[in-house]
Amino acid sequence: MILDVVVMTDKEEYIDPTIKVLNKCFGISEKTVREIVEEKPNSRYVILKKGIDYETAQKYNEIKNDTENYPNVKGIWLEDDYNRTYPYNTLASDVIGFTYSGNIGAIGIESAYNDVMTGTDGREYGYLDEDDTVEQNVKAAKNGNNVVTTIDITLQSIVEKYIQQFNEEHAGEEGSGVTGSKNTAVMIMNPNTGEILAEASYPNFDLNKPRDLSSIYSEEKWNAIDEKDQLNILSSIWRNFCVSDAFEPGVYDETIHCCSRIGDRNSYRR
């Protein structure tokens, strides 16, 4: 929700009705608005609130269009904002990555191709013409580009299913902890093209709630961990073990129980 201070303060009779609507619809206090007016009297674009729900936006639009009862509400604009969502939740979580505030990619594809996928925000703004009529201009948003991967959703689902099953079966064995193995990594590649068909690590996380580790830690146990250690735990879970750690196929030690290579005649298993 944007406030155009110049438009709102153009006439004295605009100020109080606009402040009342800002409080009624969006819960913004009169004190906050008056401080902005005092600090930024020439501002045409002050973001007062983000994440407005649909019902609130509809409520304001009804007021905006009701010129009979609200003729002096001026200088408030609503702009569309976009958030990326992940319909498959945990699937390929450390491959896809997630975004934080402002739709900035944090890890994975979201980070690597952030500039490709991020478009240009649109803008709606207004000004007063010579007849004191508010004129609105809209600068259209420009969509970002798509990124298509070679990940096969069926193979990825199967891999993650059996990684989860394996770790649940072996949780607590030989000091492995509540999550099973410290790390499990699986990659499936088409040896003829080099395409990665599946890439999974364990444990994974929900892309829509990347900081929610309730599937691993109880609320009481998580709150008992200090902030620095919490960040280290999150970073280790977000880390893509498949690409961030080196491992020579076929090397056997006490932590690696099985290693196999497929796709040619020289398949082997340890």
Q: Which two tokens stand for residue 12?
A: 């004295």
266 pLDDT above the threshold of 50: no
What is the rounded CA–CA span in Å between residue 22 and residue 48?
A: 9
Statement: residue 254 has pLDDT above 60:
no
Q: What is the pLDDT of residues 188-207, one digit of tens each?
A: 999 999 999 999 988 889 99
User: Tens digits of per-residue pLDDT, 223-241?
Assistant: 888 888 888 888 888 888 8
Q: How far apart are CA 3 and CA 40, in angstroms?
A: 11
Residue 7, pLDDT > 70, answer yes
Rounded to whole angstroms, how far apart are CA atoms 47 and 2?
Answer: 5
Asked if the model's pLDDT at residue 109 lies above 70, the reply is: yes
Q: What is the pTM of this model?
A: 0.62
- Where b means 16+ CB within 10 Å and e means fewer, 145-176 reads eeeeeebbeeebeebbeebbebbeeeeeeeee
Of 267 and 242, more confident: 242
